[in-house]
Amino acid sequence: MIFDENRIRASIIEEGLREAGHNKVVVLHEIDGLARQIEVIGPDVIVIDIETPNRDMLEHLFQLTRSVRKPIAMFVDRSDSSSIEAAVDAGVSAYVVDGLKKERVKPILDMAVSRFKAFSRLQQELAEAKGALEERKIIDRAKGVLMKSRSMSENEAYSLLRQTAMNEKRKIADIAQSVVTAAALLGTWEG
């Protein structure tokens, strides 16, 4: 999907995409209703071209791009460091200043897609690591509850959690959360 208020510039991008083998290209020229259009169209990649960007338009587009989980390439004629920083914060995968040429469109989009995928993988890995850390904290709290309330060693507490999880066919973190919640309700744990 291409968004460009300037029809001539949009045709340059469209021609570059079609020459690169992209046959399903949608061009939008109006910023009003753009979010709704993106939702309806469901593009694989979004190309935004702004000949003369102003602060309000950039901010509007950056708000939009923050909510869209797609690779985004943005072409602008001029920029400053705060606009570039805002674009990166908004999730723009490629921000190209003064570089709109049809033969550059495909490599720039390829790079935008690659960057988007790499960033998405990093976000997924971070979410998984945070989840594992939270699970570890809950398991440690549950071991503490069991050690205190049943006078068990740490290994015995962990073995009990693990065995209970296997018996109930649940994750050990879920069993641990139940132990911590029960202890809090019974007032036996201040964790």
**What is the Cα–Cα distance from 187 to 15, expressed in whole angstroms?**
69
Are 89 and 28 members of one domain? yes
**What is the Cα–Cα distance from 76 to 100, expressed in whole angstroms?**
8
pLDDT beyond 80 at 160:
yes
Domain with residue 133: its CATH number is 1.10.10.10
Please report whether residue 56 resides in a domain: yes
Supply the pLDDT for residue 18: 87
Please state the rounded mean pLDDT for residues 129-144.
96
Of 9-18, 132-141, 156-165, least confident by mean pLDDT is 9-18
Please state the rounded mean pLDDT for residues 124-130.
96
pLDDT band of 189, cuts 50, 70, 90: low
How many structural domains are present in the chain?
A: 2
Supply the pLDDT for residue 191: 53
pLDDT beyond 90 at 50:
no
Residues 60, 61, 63, 65: what is their CA dihedral angle, to the nearest 10 degrees? 170
Please state the rounded mean pLDDT for residues 70-88.
81
Q: Which residue segment(s) compose the domain that 154 sits in?
A: 126-186
pLDDT beyond 60 at 69:
yes
